[in-house]
Amino acid sequence: MDQAEATEKIVTALKKKKGKTKFYFNDLCKILGEKPRPAKKLINKMIIDEVLEYWSSGSTTLYSLKGVGKQAAAEHED
Amino acid sequence: MAKHETPLLDQLETGPWPSFVTDMKREAESRAKNERNIEYQIPQDCCDDLLGVLELSFKHGRTHWKHGGIVGVFGYGGGVIGRYCDQPEMFPGVAHFHTMRVSQPAGKFYTTKYLEDICDLWERRGSGLTNMHGSTGDIIFLGTTTPQLEEVFWELGHNLNQDLGGSGSNLRTPADCVGAARCEWACFDTQAICHDFTVEYQDELHRPAFPYKFKFKFDGCPNCCVASIARADLAFVGTWRDDIKIDQEAVKAYVGGELPPNGGSHSGRDWGPFDIRKEVIDLCPTGCMRYEDGKLEINTPECYRCMHCINVMPRALRIGNDRGCSIFAGAKAPILDGAQMGSLIVPFIKVEEPYDEIKETVIEPIWDWWMEEGKNRERLGELMKRQGFQKLLEVTGFKPDARMVQEPRTNPYIFWKEDEVEGGFDRDINEYRKYHQR
């Protein structure tokens, strides 16, 4: 799978999800239909390209589309 | 004059131990005076507000911190933990008060210059408050604002040659004991392997793709000073295969009272004369020691390296020469399923650079299995419990070994499979009935 196709798949799938903006790495792997290691390379590139962003509780990390969700506003970061 | 009244916190200072409240007050006072004319980049009174919000939390019996956040440094998924106060108007100094984890050096060796430099950096760009060190082992910088995160990261990387540590669903900063640098019991170079793994697994440290946290810890000997066996998903504990070296003259010196047992650590009162039978021989968990006619003997095949005799008589007994480590998988603190100790997966392996055997036969197969099969927020130990230790043996290709069984019949995870049994599990019932009635 090339990067553009992977990005398209992720963005489309995440935009479709209603009421949920943060996703586990495993959820993204399932969307891509890839094993974790190749999926990691594609997902990392999406972070660098600022398509996705990390959310961390300190113990767990989740992924979301950049700027989506109430976190940005709630934290006075916008 | 303190900014907030803190009667409840003040009580914490009245106990017999040093108090973190005193430390915070001291930093608050130092920031208020600013005798060194530091150009503070975050609110000067942040420590006062931190004391204030903590006092309020005690008063309300609930926290005033929100959970997590999206902040970080560019490209890194770990090292920064977003912390936001839910009373920003009352305590503006800690409205944003993010934590940064800084990767500690192997063995935690520092120069005073380095410590001064990181403290100066954090005084200027953060609250000045640190944890030395957090439970994972990192240097913890407590409290800064979002715009300072990249600035701190830049200065750490460019001026101090220093990286951030791990947090989130990442490999956490590997931690080790002081090892061969200061300890005669180190069975391998804990600092060398800790540093090597930290460098080798940078991607796993900074870019989260695991189901949950993952920890490596390295203990040079079974005394386990970093408690790897209780806390690390993969614990490396030093051990040896040959005999404990015995200096019979020194044994006699301990018995005769010329050498103090336990390195002289039992002090403060008269503990009576040293009794080798009561304090060593009878306490040996495997009963593999004998002291007769002034001669100490150890039956090595029975010894399981508990270290007690060596700890009591360090001048007389020394670790063997054929050294390496045992590897334990799946330890964790109690969140799901309660606390778990590590399970022995590799009884003995030589620890030699570049550690390819450990990386290729232990770490990477385990990671591949856990990344694929692990549920969200499931530690390796929980996956081992869910799918069975036998599955772990299958993915790593290790042969079952009696030493992996904790006690007979408690964890019999080694089962035959049909294709391993001649003729499979089917039988001819008529043939069977010839010999056995219903």
Q: For position B211, which CATH number holds?
A: 3.30.413.10
Average pLDDT of chain B to the nearest whole number: 94
Q: How far apart are CA B41 and CA B54, in angstroms?
A: 23
Could you give the CA distance from residue B95 to residue A74 in angstroms, rounded to a whole number?
12
Tell me whether residue B432 is in a domain: no
- Angle made by CA atoms B330, B179, B274, in degrees to the nearest 5: 100
- What's B98's domain CATH number? 3.30.70.2500
For A38, the 3-state DSSP assignment is helix
The answer to whether A55 contacts chain B (CB < 8 Å) is yes
Q: State in Å, rounded, how far the first CA of chain B is from the last one.
A: 91
Q: Do residues B221 and B251 share a domain?
A: no
Q: Provide the pairing of β-strand A61-65 with A52-56.
A: antiparallel
Does residue B169 lie in a domain region? no
CA distance B194 to chain A (A): 22
pTM, entire model: 0.92
Lowest-pLDDT range of A49-63, B221-235, B310-324, B419-433: B419-433
Angle, alpha carbons B342-B348-B354 (nearest 5°): 100
Same domain, yes or no: B280 and B299? yes
Segment A26-74, tens digit of pLDDT: 999 999 999 999 999 999 999 999 999 999 999 999 999 998 876 655 5
Assigned CATH topology for domain A3-74: Arc Repressor Mutant, subunit A (1.10.10)
Quote the domain boundaries for residue B310. 245-318
Q: Which of B318, B344, B365 is the last residue of a domain?
A: B318
Same domain, residue pair B234 and B250 = no
**CB nearest to B69's CB, from A26, A36, A71:** A71
| Rg of chain A taking only CA atoms, in angstroms | 12
* Contact at CB, B368 and A37, closer than 8 angstroms: yes
Q: Look at residue B171 and tell me whether its pLDDT is greater than 90.
A: yes
The residue out of B272, B302, B318 marking a domain boundary is B318
Q: How far is CA B86 from CA B56, B57, B62, in A?
A: 11, 11, 11
pLDDT tens for B279-309 read: 999 999 999 999 999 999 999 999 999 999 9
Q: Do A54 and B208 touch (CB under 8 A)?
A: yes
Is B181:B223 a contact under the CB 8 Å cutoff?
Answer: no
Q: Considering B131, B159, B187, which residue would you say is the last residue of a domain? A: B159
- Indicate if B91 and B179 belong to the same structural domain: no
Tokens of B155: 């200065």
Structure tokens at B172: 């956490």
3-state DSSP assignment of residue B426: coil
Q: Is residue B425 part of a domain?
A: no
Q: In this complex, do B207 and A36 lie within 8 Å of one another by their Cβ atoms?
A: no
Answer whether residue B428 is part of any domain.
Answer: no
Q: What are phi and psi of B297, to 5 degrees?
A: -130, 145
According to DSSP, residue B417 is labeled -
Residue B10 corresponds to which amino acid?
Answer: D
- Which DSSP string corresponds to B342-379? PEEEEEEE---TT-HHHIIIIIHHHHHHHHHHPPTT--
B218 lies in a domain?
A: yes
Has residue B146 been placed in a domain? yes
Within 8 A of A35 by CB-CB distance, chain B residues are 372
State both tokens at A48.
């660098």
Number of domains in chain B: 3
Task: Look at residue B170 and tell me if it is in a domain.
Answer: no
Q: B234 forms bridges with which residues in the sheet? A: B216, B329
Q: Is A71 in CB contact (< 8 Å) with chain B? A: yes
